[in-house]
């Protein structure tokens, strides 16, 4: 009899457990189906997506409702966003603020007209047409240098290696290479051509130099890729590969992206130099109404094309091409873009009194609505600043 009652109790317990398990499975399945359904609707229904972005994800931000930094002299201040900070250079003082608007540090930089360039936690600052050069990591100065000649531009990789383009010497252009400790590695001399841009690979192995030769009857754009290691001992023999653009093509920028792919932007197209040294055209836009193009991203290139949406209106269609797999993402802003800003995987579209921040997958990250025309934006990989006459409003991305 005892065994009978024990078996009966076990059966009841098993039934309860089975009912509980079934209930959990049903609830989980319901939540999963609901999540998938909402995701599909979010991806395919523009009105629903806009409502969810605004009311659920809180992506819409409005002027005067954000952390801010008060400023007094906009005309004399040089403002730049890097890593997780916004820096303000004024009268040789470089004040660094965090994402809440709190001042973190003040550095002394002997610079009045700065050239900024950043990558990850590193920020390089140089005096335009001057000699001073600084490397900042996070919130501290790592080193400073005095350059022979006048600095015209700088580029930096994620490890703190810096290429400095120098003019007004006995050569047309000199490119000086420094490592993250401030050690001068070598100089590269160009006698009669003008350097347009430089780029350093993330593995510290290669320096790419884009330059334009205007001495002939047509413009000739060239790219040379140098071995940094060989450049330390013999810069003349350090050229790994040289590329010539087609006659009349004007190169405007180059950028090493992830996995050491070199993206090259011309006035009419964007090309990719792969690690196997072959060249592939990513985008051609000579026959399109492209208002902006950019390659200063981690793993993508973009073009912004105006398309009519009415008699007096036009949309901005952002065409984003992944540099790795060549997949295309489209994002449409229902207004004409005034300016674009790019950094890492973030694209900012200045639409006048609104800014839409999107990622390189084509999704809205944040939307900012102002009460007036927006004239200046600073952007890093994780923070943006909307610059007004008396303050900077901070948006965390």
C-alpha to C-alpha distance for 107 and 294, rounded to whole angstroms? 31
pLDDT score of 16 more than 60: no
C-alpha to C-alpha distance for 186 and 253, rounded to whole angstroms? 22
Q: What's the distance, CA 318 to chain centroid?
A: 15
| Cβ contact 198:155 at 8 Å | yes
pLDDT score of 5: 46
- When mean pLDDT is compared across 21-25, 193-197, 278-282, 317-321, the lowest value belongs to 21-25
Digit-coded pLDDT (tens) for 98-110:
999 999 999 999 9
Q: Is the dihedral of CA 187, 115, 367, 293 positive or negative?
A: negative
> 251, 209, 244, 202: which is closest to 226 by C-alpha?
209
C-alpha to C-alpha distance for 126 and 134, rounded to whole angstroms? 6
* Segment 136-147 mean pLDDT: 95
pLDDT score of 6: 53
Between 213 and 387, residue with greater pLDDT:
387
* Segment 190-212 mean pLDDT: 93
- When mean pLDDT is compared across 215-219, 298-302, 336-340, the lowest value belongs to 215-219
Digit-coded pLDDT (tens) for 41-95:
767 667 777 777 788 878 899 999 999 999 976 667 899 999 999 999 999 999 9
Q: Which residues pair with 236 in a beta bridge?
A: none
pLDDT score of 262: 96
Digit-coded pLDDT (tens) for 238-276:
888 999 988 888 999 999 999 999 999 999 999 999 988
pLDDT score of 329: 95
pLDDT score of 383 more than 60: yes
* Segment 323-331 mean pLDDT: 94
- What mean pLDDT, rounded, does the chain reach? 90
C-alpha to C-alpha distance for 83 and 79, rounded to whole angstroms? 14
pLDDT score of 52: 75
pLDDT score of 35 more than 90: no
pLDDT score of 2: 52
247-272 b/e (C-beta count within 10 Å ≥ 16 → b): eebebebbbbbeeebbbbbbebbbbb
Taking residue 362's Cβ as centre, other Cβ atoms within 10 Å add up to 17
pLDDT score of 4: 46
pLDDT score of 14 more than 80: no
| Cβ contact 327:356 at 8 Å | no
Q: What is the percentage of the chain residues whose pLDDT exceeds 70?
A: 92
pLDDT score of 17 more than 80: no
* Segment 15-24 mean pLDDT: 67
H or E, element range at 323: none
pLDDT score of 226 more than 70: yes
pLDDT score of 7 more than 80: no
What are the CA-CA distances from residue 247 to residues 222, 244, 288, 348 (Å)?
10, 9, 21, 33
Q: How many residues does the chain have?
A: 397
pLDDT score of 13: 56
């Amino acid at each position: 009899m005892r065994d009978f009652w024990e078996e009966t109790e076990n059966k009841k317990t098993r039934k309860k457990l089975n009912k509980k398990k079934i209930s959990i499975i049903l609830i989980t399945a319901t939540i999963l189906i609901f999540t998938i359904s909402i995701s599909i609707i979010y991806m395919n229904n523009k009105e629903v997506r806009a409502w969810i972005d605004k009311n659920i994800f809180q992506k819409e931000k409005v002027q005067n409702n954000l952390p801010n930094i008060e400023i007094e002299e906009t005309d004399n201040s040089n403002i730049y966003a890097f890593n997780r900070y916004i820096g303000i250079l004024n009268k040789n003082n470089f004040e660094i603020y965090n994402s809440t608007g709190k001042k973190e540090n003040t550095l002394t930089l002997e610079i009045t007209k700065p050239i900024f360039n950043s990558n990850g936690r590193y920020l390089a600052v140089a005096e335009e047409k001057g000699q001073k050069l600084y490397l900042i990591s996070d919130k501290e100065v790592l080193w400073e240098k005095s350059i022979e000649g006048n600095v015209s531009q700088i580029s930096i990789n994620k490890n703190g290696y810096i290429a400095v383009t120098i003019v007004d010497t006995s050569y047309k252009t000199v490119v000086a290479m420094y490592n993250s400790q401030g050690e001068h590695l070598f100089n590269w001399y160009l006698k009669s051509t003008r350097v347009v841009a430089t780029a350093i690979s993330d593995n510290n192995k290669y320096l790419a130099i884009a330059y334009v030769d205007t001495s002939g009857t047509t413009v000739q754009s060239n790219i040379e890729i140098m071995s940094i290691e060989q450049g330390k001992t013999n810069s003349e023999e350090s050229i790994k590969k040289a590329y010539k653009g087609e006659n009349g093509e004007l190169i405007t920028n180059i950028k090493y992206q992830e996995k050491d792919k070199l993206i090259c932007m011309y006035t009419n197209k964007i090309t990719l130099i792969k690690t196997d040294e072959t060249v592939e055209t990513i985008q051609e836009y000579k026959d399109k109404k492209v208002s902006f193009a950019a390659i200063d991203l981690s793993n993508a290139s973009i073009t912004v094309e105006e398309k009519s949406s009415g008699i007096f209106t036009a949309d901005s269609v952002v065409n984003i091409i992944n540099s790795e797999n060549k997949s295309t993402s489209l994002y449409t802003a229902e207004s004409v873009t005034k300016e674009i800003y790019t950094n890492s995987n973030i694209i900012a579209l200045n639409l006048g009194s609104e800014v839409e921040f999107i990622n390189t997958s084509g999704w809205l990250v944040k939307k900012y609505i102002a009460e007036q025309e927006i004239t200046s934006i600073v952007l890093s990989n994780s923070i943006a600043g909307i610059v007004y006459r008396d303050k900077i409003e901070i948006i965390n991305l």
